[in-house]
Amino acid sequence: MTIEQTQQQIIDEFSMFDDWMDKYNFLIEMGKDCPLIETQYKTNNYLINGCQSRVWLHASYDGKQISFSADSDAVITKGIVNLLIRVFNDHTPEEILASDTAFLDKIGLKEHLSPTRSNGLLSMVKQMKLYAQVYQLKSIQQSHD
């Protein structure tokens, strides 16, 4: 599935809920499916510090695609983290860099990406793109070697 297809799938899933409590319940459930970061990476080096909830993020690259794993101490944050992972996981650096996160607006979660929420999610999106940028540079370098 392309990034846009996954985003559309998430928008469709959320369209079933007309109530905030159902949305949050869904996010809590989604948090449980989050590909968990390995304990060795759950350190300050991988910590994305928000003011309130903490998020740890790790990325690996197989030369073609990036896969992410993460964790958070807040379960709703973890659900949103997993939404982002679902969208970006197993895509090339180019695909990740070319995409946006406008879908969060369509499912009513845009506020969670505002800097005032200080939950680390905005930094997380930046960090995912940064990983993509680094891996893109790496693969360009390797192709020149």
Partner 1 sequence: MENSKRFDIQNIRSQFPALHQQVYNKPLVYLDNAATTQKPQIVIDRLKTWYEMENSNIHRGVHYLSQQGTVAFESARKTVSTFLNTKFTHEIIFTKGTTDSINLLASSLGKLLVNEGDAVLVSGMEHHSNFVPWQQLCIERKANFLVVGITGTGEIDIEQYKLLLEKRPKIISIAHISNVLGIINPIEEMIRLAHNYDIPVVIDGAQSVCHQKIDVQQLDCDFFAFSGHKMYAPMGVGVLYGKEKWLNAMPPYQFGGEMVSQVSRQETTFNELPFKFEAGTPNIGAVLGLETAIQFIESVGIEQIAVHEEKLIRYALKKLQEIDRLRFIGNALKQASVISFLIGDIHPYDLGMIIDKLGIAIRTGHHCAQPVMEYFGIHGTMRVSFAMYNTFEEIDTFVAAVKKAALMLE
Indicate the SS3 state at residue 139. Answer: helix
Catalytic residue among 1, 28, 51, 137: 51
CB of 12 to partner 1, least distance (A): 22
Q: Which of 75, 34, 83, 82 is nearest to 54 (CA)?
A: 75
11 lines the binding site for partner 1 (CB under 8 A): no
Element counts in the chain: helices (H) and strands (E): 6, 3
Site string for partner 1, 16-55 (x = CB under 8 A): ----xx--xx--x----------------------xxxx-
Taking each helix axis as running N to C, give the angle between helix 20-32 and helix 75-88, from 0 to 180 degrees, rounded to the nearest 10.
Answer: 70
Among residues 103, 119, 122, 131, which is the contact residue for partner 1, using CB under 8 A? 119
Q: Is 34 a catalytic residue?
A: no
Tell me the sheet residues that pair with 36.
Answer: 70
Q: Where on the chain is the footprint of partner 1 (CB under 8 A)?
A: 20-21, 24-25, 28, 51-54, 73-77, 119
